[in-house]
Structure 1
């Protein structure tokens, strides 16, 4: 990053309006439900800081992304922000200072003392971009605000970095009420690694089997310790193949409201470097090979898992129910134990999206509704409006939503949230 660009960006993003003064969901660095028995998450997808950073317009693009984050945080009370992949455009970064984009993207969170957690994506790892270096920068800046972690040992290009879980406690006592799982779907190119021909080395774009093993063993250990099933949510940047299979069958805009203007890219591909294009850029040749099947099977086997949230594709933001009533013909497993799979709105001005307004998915978990397997979610747009406001519950996928319902501004009352 050019030093003058970085200093200009910092100066233009330092002054932010104050967040609403509401009850905090944090105590002593841990995550807690607020005293109103709610836990609120804002999911920022595909920020793509540093895209084409050598140009004169790149800093303005990043400034606009910070503005989107600020506008959403001015509207939403947030107990945890999730940076759900492609925080940066790693192929455009310089080795010596690419991690400094973390300073810009988390400034709105630091200024409001909002904790955050990251799940890295395919653009976060490249020849000059290390997801582990990004995590260390998060920790250096965030102190007790950054909850990003790495709980699975192994090489960055194989297991990734952001594989971990966070407990959310009931306010006032150390009783775990909710688990948040984070997974690294990788992709991109291996950090500081080239073939003997000088080509970059592609990394697999799915959750590694060692991570799946860790997930299985950790779930069992928590279940044995707590003597009960704890409801959970999961975050992974690249969506699993089940979403593409569902999309192929046809999205009903009344039952699965949201934008659907792009064919989904999913986990599970086998990729090779096919050489360089006419501009000297390394190119991949990829085809789906079922690499995410172990991960999908483990998700389905997870008792209490309510929903999985992904990004990656910038022109889609609907949710689906992975259910036995609508089996997926090309997916293993074909049915998903009624897990909801949700795609998020593109947040950043880096990366493609055209004229689609930027925004972020909001998640509202009401403690009393967890027993009913109910979670509320909507998209908060950069202009302050709301779209795709739905309740992920036992009847999602059967219920029909009107445009008025899905654009309702603010949280619904408890009766509506229960469906």
Structure 2
């Protein structure tokens, strides 16, 4: 049985979010950067928020090689990790998303789940973080599959469906009933919501917005449901490689992790990296977050 997530003896829990690695069958510099960031940050958990691999894989064996490359940094350090899919992860058409999810889940320290699934979405699940003192859950992490592309008649990217919103609502309500309180949470998926645009225009923004938000044209009220329920304190995504900002709207922080990989589109003037989260057991709703990027002096020591 895999170990539960828990706050450390100092009451801290650190997450590193890597995104848009775009790894292929041939190992590239992305893994070296991941290793450097993990060595410096020493997290309790790693989250990969989509476009982990892409269409460069030409066979099922290529897919397995790419996923093995991805797994090595966490597995070698005994760090728990989990994934959610992006719009490019199954472009190779060599393995289904469920087959890939089962492969990820086969690693000793991977905590991903098939979870709630629909005909085209898999990996909608949540992970609880227990107290440093006992098994009481103090924090929650939602992972959602944001899909790929909308039907041609609509165009653009897909959206989080009503059934997934229902799954989130049901999960949050059931947790509140079971534990007699709201459990503060973060939510991770790949494609940003439309609300990111509004947050960036109206809220306090830290970080850079260097490209337009590539969000779905259709919005089915996930954000409104999150605000109403009140457990999710931040939504964090990937997808738009040149954005690494964190803004706020209606009490919820909305942020990007930038991009980690050398396999997708990029610009050497825009550093690759990750987003880091530090959660305090005494006040888990008020988390700290920052980016760690490849040209940071800390990574050169």
Confirm or deny: 8 A CA contact 1:71 1:384 kept in the other structure.
Answer: no
Confirm or deny: 8 A CA contact 2:150 2:159 kept in the other structure.
Answer: no
- CA distance in 1 between counterparts of 2:165 and 2:297 reads 38
- CA distance in 1 between counterparts of 2:58 and 2:114 reads 24
Alignment partner of 1:241 is 2:194: yes
2:264 match: secondary structure: coil
Structure 2 counterpart of 1:153: 117
Q: What is the CA distance between 1:384 and its match in structure 2?
A: 4.0
Q: What is the CA distance between 1:212 and its match in structure 2?
A: 1.2
Q: What is the CA distance between 1:166 and its match in structure 2?
A: 0.2
Task: State how 1:320-339 maps to structure 2 within 5 Å.
Answer: 320-323=247-250, 338-339=251-252
- CA distance in 2 between counterparts of 1:30 and 1:237 reads 25
Structure 2 counterpart of 1:180: 141
Select the residue among 240, 254, 272 that pairs with 1:358. Answer: 272
Confirm or deny: 8 A CA contact 1:48 1:88 kept in the other structure.
Answer: yes
2:172 match: secondary structure: helix
Change (3 A) 1:314 1:182: same
Structure 2 counterpart of 1:138: 104
- CA distance in 2 between counterparts of 1:361 and 1:40 reads 11
- CA distance in 2 between counterparts of 1:99 and 1:244 reads 36
- CA distance in 1 between counterparts of 2:143 and 2:229 reads 14
Q: Aligned-residue CA RMSD in angstroms?
A: 2.3
- CA distance in 2 between counterparts of 1:128 and 1:206 reads 24
Structure 1 counterpart of 2:10: 36
Structure 2 counterpart of 1:71: 36
Task: State how 1:5-404 maps to structure 2 within 5 Å.
Answer: 29-50=3-24, 59=26, 62-89=27-54, 91-97=55-61, 98-126=63-91, 127-140=93-106, 142-143=107-108, 145-155=109-119, 157=120, 160-188=121-149, 205-247=158-200, 249=201, 255-266=204-215, 268=216, 288=217, 290=218, 292-323=219-250, 338-355=251-268, 356-370=270-284, 373-385=285-297
- CA distance in 2 between counterparts of 1:296 and 1:369 reads 23
Confirm or deny: 8 A CA contact 1:123 1:188 kept in the other structure.
Answer: no
Confirm or deny: 8 A CA contact 2:117 2:123 kept in the other structure.
Answer: no
Provide Cα deviations, 1:102-149, integer angstroms capped at 9, x if missing partner: 100110111100010111110113333522222111122x12x11111
- CA distance in 1 between counterparts of 2:95 and 2:156 reads 13
Confirm or deny: 8 A CA contact 1:125 1:186 kept in the other structure.
Answer: no
Confirm or deny: 8 A CA contact 2:199 2:254 kept in the other structure.
Answer: no
2:267 match: secondary structure: coil
For CA contacts below 8 A with separation 6 or more, give which structure has more relative contact order: 2
2:60 match: secondary structure: coil
Q: What is the CA distance between 1:28 and its match in structure 2?
A: 6.0
Q: What is the CA distance between 1:206 and its match in structure 2?
A: 1.7
Task: State TM-score, norm by structure 2.
Answer: 0.90
Task: State TM-score, norm by structure 1.
Answer: 0.66
Provide Cα deviations, 1:333-388, integer angstroms capped at 9, x if missing partner: xxxxx111011121000111211111100000011222xx31111111124447xx
Provide Cα deviations, 1:300-349, integer angstroms capped at 9, x if missing partner: 223221111111000010111113xxxxxxxxxxxxxx111011121000
Provide Cα deviations, 1:4-31, integer angstroms capped at 9, x if missing partner: xxxxxxxxxxxxxxxxxxxxxxx96100
Count of aligned positions: 293
- CA distance in 1 between counterparts of 2:231 and 2:199 reads 22
Q: Give unpaired runs (5+ residues) of structure 1.
A: 1-26, 54-58, 191-198, 269-287, 324-337, 387-419
